[in-house]
Homo-oligomer: A and B are copies of this chain.
Amino acid sequence: MTKKEFEGYLYIEGGVCAAQGFVANGLHAGFHSDKNKNDLGMVYSETPCHTAAVYTQNKAKAAPVLVTQENLKASGGIARAVLANSKNANAGNRNGKETAIAACELAAQELGIPREQVIVASTGVIGEPLPLQPFQDHMQELVSGLSREGNSKAVNAIMTTDTVPKEAAVEFLLEGKICRLGGMAKGSGMIHPNMATTLNFITTDAAVSTEMLQRALKDVVKVTYNCLSIDGDTSTNDMVAVLANGLAGNQEIREEGEAYSCLKQALYIVMMNMTRMLAADGEGATKLLECCCEGAPDQDTAIIVAKSVIRSPLFKCAMFGEDANWGRILCAIGYADAEFSIDQMDVELSSLAGTVPVCRDGAGIPFSEELAAKVLAEEEINIHINLHQGEGKATAWGCDLTYDYVKINGDYRS
Which residues does A use to contact B, with CB under 8 Å? 57-61, 89, 91-94, 125-128, 189-190, 192, 194, 231-236, 311-314, 317-318, 320-321, 323, 325-328, 330-336, 340-342, 358-359, 362-364, 401-403, 405-414
Given known A232-B312, A317-B410, contact A93–B363 (CB-CB < 8 A): yes
Given known A236-B330, A327-B92, contact A321–B127 (CB-CB < 8 A): no
Contacts of A409 in B (CB 8 A): 313-314, 317-318, 321, 401
- In the complex, the chain B residue whose C-beta lies closest to that of A315 is B233
Contacts of A340 in B (CB 8 A): 59
Task: Report yes or no: B125 in contact with A325, Cβ–Cβ below 8 A.
Answer: yes
Given known A60-B333, A406-B402, contact A189–B236 (CB-CB < 8 A): no
Contacts of A335 in B (CB 8 A): 57-59, 192, 194, 233-234
The distance from the CB of A285 to the nearest CB of chain B, in whole angstroms, is 12
Contacts of A364 in B (CB 8 A): 92-94, 126-128
Most chain B CB within a 10 A radius of its CB, from A189, A321, A359, A406: A406
Task: Report yes or no: B332 in contact with A92, Cβ–Cβ below 8 A.
Answer: no
| Cα–Cα, bound, A336→B359 (Å) | 34
Query: Would you list 27 pairs from A and B whose C-beta atoms are within 8 A, ordered by A residue?
Result: A59-B336, A59-B341, A89-B327, A92-B327, A92-B364, A126-B325, A126-B328, A126-B331, A127-B326, A127-B359, A190-B314, A231-B313, A233-B332, A234-B335, A314-B409, A314-B412, A317-B405, A317-B408, A317-B409, A317-B410, A317-B412, A320-B410, A321-B410, A321-B411, A401-B409, A402-B406, A403-B406
Contact partner, A331, options B60, B93, B403, B405, Cβ 8 Å: B60
* Interface of chain A: mostly helix, strand, loop or mixed: loop
| Cα–Cα, bound, A179→B194 (Å) | 50
Number of this chain's copies in the complex: 2
Given known A312-B233, A317-B406, A405-B317, contact A325–B412 (CB-CB < 8 A): yes
| Cα–Cα, bound, A340→B192 (Å) | 21
| Cα–Cα, bound, A15→B218 (Å) | 55
- In the complex, the chain B residue whose C-beta lies closest to that of A95 is B363
| Cα–Cα, bound, A408→B314 (Å) | 10
Most chain B CB within a 10 A radius of its CB, from A92, A236, A364, A406: A92
| Cα–Cα, bound, A58→B57 (Å) | 27
Task: Report yes or no: A359 in contact with B92, Cβ–Cβ below 8 A.
Answer: yes
Q: Which 6 A-B residue pairings sit nearest by Cβ, starting from the closest?
A: A126-B327, A321-B410, A60-B334, A317-B409, A127-B364, A127-B327
Q: A60-B331, A313-B405, A321-B410 are in contact. List 18 more A-B contacts (CB 8 A).
A: A58-B331, A59-B340, A92-B362, A125-B325, A126-B325, A126-B330, A126-B364, A127-B363, A189-B314, A232-B311, A233-B328, A233-B335, A234-B335, A317-B412, A318-B410, A320-B410, A323-B414, A405-B406
